[in-house]
Amino acid sequence: MTSSEIAMNPLVLTAVGACALPHLGVIAARGEDAAHFLHNQLTQDFALLDSQHARLAAFCNAKGRMQASMVGFKTSPQEVLLVLRADLLPQTLKRLSMFVLRAKVKLTEASAEWRVAGRFTAQAESVTPWQLTQNQRTWQVGLYPAGGLARQLCVLPTEEALTDAPLDTQDWLLGEVLSGVADVQAATFEAFVPQMLNYESVDGVNFKKGCYPGQEVVARSQFRGILKRRTYVVSSPVALQAGEDIFHVSDNSQPAGQVAQAASHAQHGHWALVCLQTSFAQPDALYPVSSPDSRLQLHPLPYALRDDI
């Protein structure tokens, strides 16, 4: 599929402000081994994490399949906060805790202490992805832009109030899709290896760090060139759901891909991030299992896929 075959993304978002993100929760890792422990469990380097950056990371099973994705950052030398989907938080916390053993770290759910919000601001180039800043008691993580707007993930004490103009949650959920960066949720648990969601191209995997669960599979997928699935931005005439199968008109016997993340907007319609077999990523040829007569439109990713890691 060439760039000329992809429908241009027509969306330019204009709504700036902030909104609470109740679909996200927080895990706190506290103790002198907090960063080192996470370094050994996740796809990103937390051992060298400084106070100016956050990390996008995946937590995988032994087969390299993602059981959760998260954004992590240090609030102090002995505390790391992880922001992830609330529907996966309890089981992720339980499984991570199984690996603590003698490590000097305590993992707890901290959603009652911290709340998560999303912020849209103008001038997308003004925010660098994964840059960490602090404004009084609020931590701000730069995210990939969407629809021409900058985005920040904000983590603030629960008693703190948002001072930005109120933003509708549907705007943020649409922005998540348009950014091209999907997160793992209950409907897509163990559905993807990180590269299927383009994580190597958005700084979600560090191939130079030491071992973690699934590391051999993730590395082999990268360096042996065996990855045949990628994530694409699509628009749809019907609402899509995370985990829904996507088919190609040439073959209705098995799915060509799966919806990784979806959003429906009152003004802008239905959009999704869809993980597809690259050979089936063709215009006017894909449809969701729920609506065989519908056709999905492919749109450009807002970032380049990296060939050299």
Task: Quick: pLDDT tens for 217-257.
Answer: 998 877 666 678 999 999 999 999 999 999 999 998 999 99
**Distance, C-alpha 14 to centroid of its chain:** 22
Between 223 and 171, the more confident residue is 171
pLDDT at residue 225, rounded to an integer: 64
pLDDT at residue 87 above 50? yes
Q: How does pLDDT run across 287-305, given as a tens digit for each residue?
A: 999 999 999 999 999 899 9
**What pLDDT is recorded for position 5?**
45
Is 60 exceeded by the pLDDT of residue 3? no
Query: What are 24's two structure tokens?
Result: 């996200």
User: Sorting pLDDT into bands at 50, 70 and 90, what band is 53?
Assistant: very high
The radius of gyration computed from the CA coordinates of the chain, to the nearest angstrom, equals 19
Q: Name which of 103, 66, 105 is nearest 85 in CA terms.
A: 66
Would strands 114-121 and 17-20 be described as parallel, antiparallel, or unpaired?
antiparallel
Per-domain residue ranges for the chain? 17-178, 186-299
pLDDT tens digits along 126-154:
899 999 999 989 999 999 999 999 999 99
Q: 17-178: what fold?
A: Alpha-Beta Plaits (3.30.70)
Residue 24 has pLDDT above 90, yes or no: yes
Q: How confident is the model at residue 10 (pLDDT cuts 50, 70, 90)?
A: low
pLDDT category, 2, cuts 50, 70, 90? very low
Per-residue pLDDT band at 95 (split at 50, 70, 90): very high
pLDDT band at residue 4 under the 50/70/90 scheme: very low
Whether the pLDDT of residue 123 is over 90: the answer is: no
Q: Same CATH topology for 17-178 and 186-299?
A: no
Burial class (CB in 10 A: 0-12, 13-18, 19+), 187: middle
First to last CA, the chain: 22
Residue 76 pairs in a beta bridge with 79
Q: What is the pTM of this model?
A: 0.94
Residue 191: pLDDT above 70? yes
d(CA 205, CA 45): 8
Is the pLDDT at 52 greater than 50? The verdict is yes
Per residue, the 3-state secondary structure of 233-261, as one string, reads EEEECCCCCCCCEEEECCECCCCCEEEEE
Instruction: Give the residue with greater pLDDT, 123 vs 53.
Output: 53
Least confident of 33-37, 202-206, 221-225: 221-225
Contact by Cβ (8 Å): 38, 93: no
Q: Considering the domain 186-299, what is its CATH architecture?
A: Beta Barrel (2.40)
Per DSSP, 223 falls in state H
The answer to whether the CB of 20 falls within 8 A of the CB of 162 is yes
Does the pLDDT value for residue 54 go beyond 60?
yes
pLDDT for the residue numbered 222: 73
What pLDDT is attached to residue 145?
A: 94
Q: To the nearest whole number, what is the mean pLDDT of the chain?
A: 93
Is 70 exceeded by the pLDDT of residue 9? no
Lowest mean pLDDT among 27-31, 119-123, 221-225, 263-267: 221-225
